[in-house]
Amino acid sequence: MAAIGSAVGLGNIWRFPYVCYQNGGGAFLIPYLVALFTVGIPLLIVEFSIGQRFDSAAPRSFSLVNRRWEWAGWWAVAAAFIIAVYYSVIMAWCLCYLSHSLGLSWGADAPAFFLQFLGKTSSPFALGGLNLQIVFALLFVWTAIYLILYKGVKSIEWAIALTVPLPTLLLLVLAVRGITLPGALEGLEFYLTPNFAKLSSPSVWLAAYAQIFFSLSLAQGIMIVYASYLRKKDDITNNAIITALADGGIAFLAGFAVFSVLGYLSHTTGVPVEEAAGSGIGLAFITYPTAISHLPVAAALFGAIFFLVLLTFGLNSAFSMVESVSGGVVEKWGLSKPRITFVICLLGFLLSVPLATGAGSYWVDIADHFISNFGLVFVGLMECVVFGYVLGTEHIRRQVNRTSDLWLGRWWDWLIKIVAPVILVFIAAASFVELLAEGYEGLPTGALMAGGGMVVLSLVAAIWLMKRRAP
């Protein structure tokens, strides 16, 4: 349940449906499932088995394989922390919109309201004013993360018991309500109509592997630290398959909740669905609120449900990232878990406050693009090298097969040693070539260089942490 909660995050609700539409609709499920079974589940098995084997978070797990590779574990932890910083800002937006939805504050012009809410400036380097509403929401988010984590696994258990089933049920409510609206079928047709011609495009397969890799919380040390709580007799393969399928199933369900409502929006306004369907942040904070405001009954209620779903799913992912960081620090320096969790949350809050300025949305987008498309890919590649070659996949396979109902064959070795590394290198290379050729969303070169600097900074921080010796 903890692994599912970490894997299912904001991206499942407002990224997967649009990526699916963009890349062939229903036909996209073919490369998605191929990516799931050739990279997603195999790497998830690796991380689960490593955490169970060494009873440790990522840094010490890498170190126990070979001390010289400890920095790769800290790199995963550093990436997780950076993601937690900007992820908390999106959660703060969700919390603010949860209150705004009660009165449908965005009215008839959701785009203008969102820009006004952010106080968005014209450039990443024009910070603008500080939005105190977002700052207080950030304080709430980081306080919630601390309260969930400060007692360790015991406090995580009760949080998971609430924050995994609840948003899933609420998402189901949204999907059922959306399907019953006039025009819903047009929206679902837009979402799921197969375009098999797109399957010949490499970019579609690239999008599928990227979605699987990043959606499952791989290469952030999260699944390793969670698996360290497993007993030696617990089944690894079943856990990995259940986690991956639950993640994909909730993302698919989210598509029904989102595009059925967009079909209704198209029906009531006359705007084609393809024009109404924004992407990313726009889908969550502009398009969906616009659709909600057109609902004939209980619009405020369904608006509140939507943002509560986003907030609770996001909270699961956020506290798992902090757990990855605190687990590594506590193991290396033997510090108090509550104390170090407080320090991490305080530092995360302080670093997220600048993102509550008018330029914050730019830096959230930049950080997400560079850490996801480069930082996590490089960490994933290091996992394939260290656990696949240095430790040896045959040792992992034997460990997994001792306790798992579903046995792994030698084909699994090839997936970890050959298939996954080749795909990860291809993802990084394709992203880099695209960045050089087209830039990124028209942002200035200086901002893109700063984004690349975040990846380098995370690596430098990882090496520094490795060299800091325990007292």
Which among 221, 253, 199 is positioned nearest to 47, based on CA atoms? 221
DSSP secondary structure string for all residues of 135-167: HHHHHHHHHHHHHHHTTTHHHHHHHHHHHTHHH
What is the total residue count of the chain? 471
Which among 417, 363, 366, 407 is positioned nearest to 387, based on CA atoms? 417
Which among 72, 91, 79 is positioned nearest to 141, based on CA atoms? 91
DSSP secondary structure string for all residues of 356-371: GBTTHHHHHHHHHHHI
Cα separations in angstroms, 93 against 287, 372, 450: 15, 21, 24
Q: Which amino acid is at 287?
A: T
CB 198 within 8 A of CB 204: yes
**Residue 159 tokens, joined:** 């949080």
Output the tens digit of pLDDT for each of the chain's 471 residues: 889 999 988 878 878 888 888 888 888 989 999 999 999 999 999 999 999 999 999 999 999 999 999 999 999 999 999 999 999 999 999 999 999 999 999 998 999 999 999 999 999 999 999 999 999 999 999 999 999 998 777 778 888 888 889 999 999 999 999 999 999 999 999 898 888 998 998 888 888 888 887 789 899 999 999 999 999 999 999 999 999 999 999 999 999 999 999 899 999 989 888 777 766 678 889 989 999 999 988 999 999 999 999 999 999 999 999 999 999 999 999 999 999 999 999 999 999 999 999 999 999 999 998 998 899 999 999 999 999 999 999 999 999 999 999 999 999 999 999 999 999 999 889 889 989 999 998 999 999 999 999 999 999 999 999 998 765
Predicted TM-score of the model (pTM): 0.95
Superfamily of domain 2-467: Amino acid/polyamine transporter I (1.20.1740.10)
Calculate ∠ Cα 286-213-16, nearest 5°: 25
Calculate ∠ Cα 122-127-131, nearest 5°: 105
CB contact burial 371-390 (16+ within 10 A = b; e otherwise): bbbbbbbbbbbbbbbbbbee
Which among 222, 210, 207 is positioned nearest to 383, based on CA atoms? 222
Strand partners, 130: 357
Q: What is the C-alpha to C-alpha distance for residues 409 and 411, in angstroms, rounded to an integer?
A: 5
Helices (H) and strands (E) in the chain, counts: 26, 0
